[in-house]
Structure 1
Amino acid sequence: MSYHNKVVLVTGGGTGIGRATALLLAERGAIVAVNYSRSAAEAEETVQAIQQFGGQAIAIRADVSSNEEVVTMIKHIVKRFGTIDYLVNNASITRYIAMEDLDAVTEEAWDDLFAVNVKGMFNCARAAAPYLKAGKGAIVNVGSIAGMTGKGSSLPYAVSKAAVHGLTKSLAQALAPDVRVTGVAPGAVNTRWWAGKEEQMRALIRHLPLDRISAPEEIAALIAAVLEQPSMTGQILTIDNGQTL
């Protein structure tokens, strides 16, 4: 599928899966709005990388947990490019808290993770919905196998990702038939989250059926394939090297 002149918003687009997705879609002809909250330099680098091969992209700051900032961001993108055809809800945060340490889970951890990981995705979907509907567009929400297994970097993170999967199904119902909404649930991915935890990563790989973890580009390829699939909505697709087998 050609994304020629299709406008795509990728939240958290400066790093990791978001960056890989922005680059891939731009290579296929999309105009990409690279959203960031704190990673300004990384978002600008992503835009420059796209422009170097002749693609079109802008970096745009918004904290997705703020509905006001999201609405302003969507208005800016539409004013600049005329519409939004696709949304990749990728922005996400975590806190590293031992799963068994319930006392270490603060109110702030719950509030911050749900504000960004769940409400943030809803805010973006709602603000973009009129444009997505007009163009029969699609949304991909980036979840996690943590939302399926209940295990992850922290208990609130795993629960927030389970909520992302639920949000995906609810939005698929709410936005049908004009907008398709699908989720991808990666296992371990080689991003900056593993910085300083390389030994843990190697230990995990030894227990995976495929004896490897995913590159961000592999998740990006699945996201692109999902955006192109006219018969799919409301599904959560696992991509985890067999981790949940």
Structure 2
Amino acid sequence: MELKNKVVLVTGGGTGIGRATSQRLASRGAIVAVNYSRSVAEAAETVRAITEAGGRAMAFQADVSRKGDVDRMVDEIVREFGTVDLLVNNASITRHIAMDDLEAVTEEAWEALFGVNVVGMFHCARAVASYMRASGGGAIVNVGSVAGLTGKGSSLPYAVSKSAVHGLTKSLAHALAPTIRVNCVAPGAVTTRWWEGQETRMHSLITHLPLERISPPEEIAEMICALLEQPSITGQIITVDNGQTL
């Protein structure tokens, strides 16, 4: 699929992988709707960087865990740009809880992580599907994680939520075929703000990876763009982890 002049919604587009993806999409000529929940300054900076480079982008606020927020946001995007052709479901949260500390896992943690990481992706996919069908087809990329494959991560609920994202990808690929393709990128460690203050741990991890490196957000963004463009792939979980799950 040609990305030029396509309207792309990127959730969590103000920082990290979301920002890198928004900028990569804009560099390919896409019109980018940069979603944010609370990171208003960061979303504005993403939009500024895109527009200063000659691209088109606008920020839209919504808590993706709330259906009403998502529906309102999509209505605003359609009023501004006419439709939504592509979706990058990137918005995600975590809790840092030791994997073996089951008592520390609260109901609030489960509800919050599944609300954003899983149900939020469903809300967004459902809200844009009719516009994609009306225009003859579209594509969705969900951002999962190797935590959803290995069962290990920043917390047990986070790992389980990302496993659910992988399952959601396959189910949506069935539900939305043949007009809408749905795939997932599952990154390993990425040099985003989640690693701030944990540089020692990050460098120790590098020595255990076959490629002995950690990916910058731009590399994940390139894979997301490739999956949006590729017309023959759907229902796939593509791991980008420098060999972590080898």
TM range (shorter): over 0.9
Deviation at 1:171, TM superposition (A): 0.3
In structure 1, the partner of 2:124 is 124
| Structure 1 unmatched ranges of 5 or more | none
- Regions of 4+ moved over 3 Å: none
What amino acid does structure 1 have at the position aligned with 2:200?
E
The answer to whether the Cα contact below 8 Å between 2:2 and 2:229 also exists between their aligned partners in 1 is: no
Distance 1:107 1:114 in 2: 11
| Structure 2 unmatched ranges of 5 or more | none
The answer to whether the Cα contact below 8 Å between 1:21 and 1:223 also exists between their aligned partners in 2 is: yes
**Equivalence map 1:1-245=2 (5 Å):** 2-135=2-135, 136-245=137-246
What amino acid does structure 2 have at the position aligned with 1:152?
G
Distance 1:229 1:25 in 2: 14
Counting matched residue pairs gives: 245
Q: Helix, strand or coil: the match of 1:127?
A: helix
TM-score by length of 2: 0.99
The answer to whether the Cα contact below 8 Å between 2:3 and 2:229 also exists between their aligned partners in 1 is: no
- Deviations for 1:93-137, whole angstroms, at most 9, x for unmatched residues? 000000000000000000000000000000000000001122310
Distance 1:235 1:2 in 2: 20
- Deviations for 1:42-73, whole angstroms, at most 9, x for unmatched residues? 00000000000111000110000000000000
Give me the identity figure in percent: 72
Distance 2:104 2:213 in 1: 31
Deviation at 1:176, TM superposition (A): 0.4
The answer to whether the Cα contact below 8 Å between 1:184 and 1:238 also exists between their aligned partners in 2 is: yes
Q: Helix, strand or coil: the match of 1:183?
A: strand
TM-score by length of 1: 0.99
What amino acid does structure 2 have at the position aligned with 1:164?
V
The answer to whether the Cα contact below 8 Å between 1:8 and 1:87 also exists between their aligned partners in 2 is: yes
Deviation at 1:2, TM superposition (A): 4.2
Q: Helix, strand or coil: the match of 1:116?
A: helix
Q: Helix, strand or coil: the match of 2:57?
A: strand
Distance 2:239 2:209 in 1: 14
CA-based RMSD? 0.7
The answer to whether the Cα contact below 8 Å between 1:2 and 1:29 also exists between their aligned partners in 2 is: no
Distance 2:132 2:97 in 1: 37
What amino acid does structure 1 have at the position aligned with 2:207?
R
Deviation at 1:29, TM superposition (A): 0.4
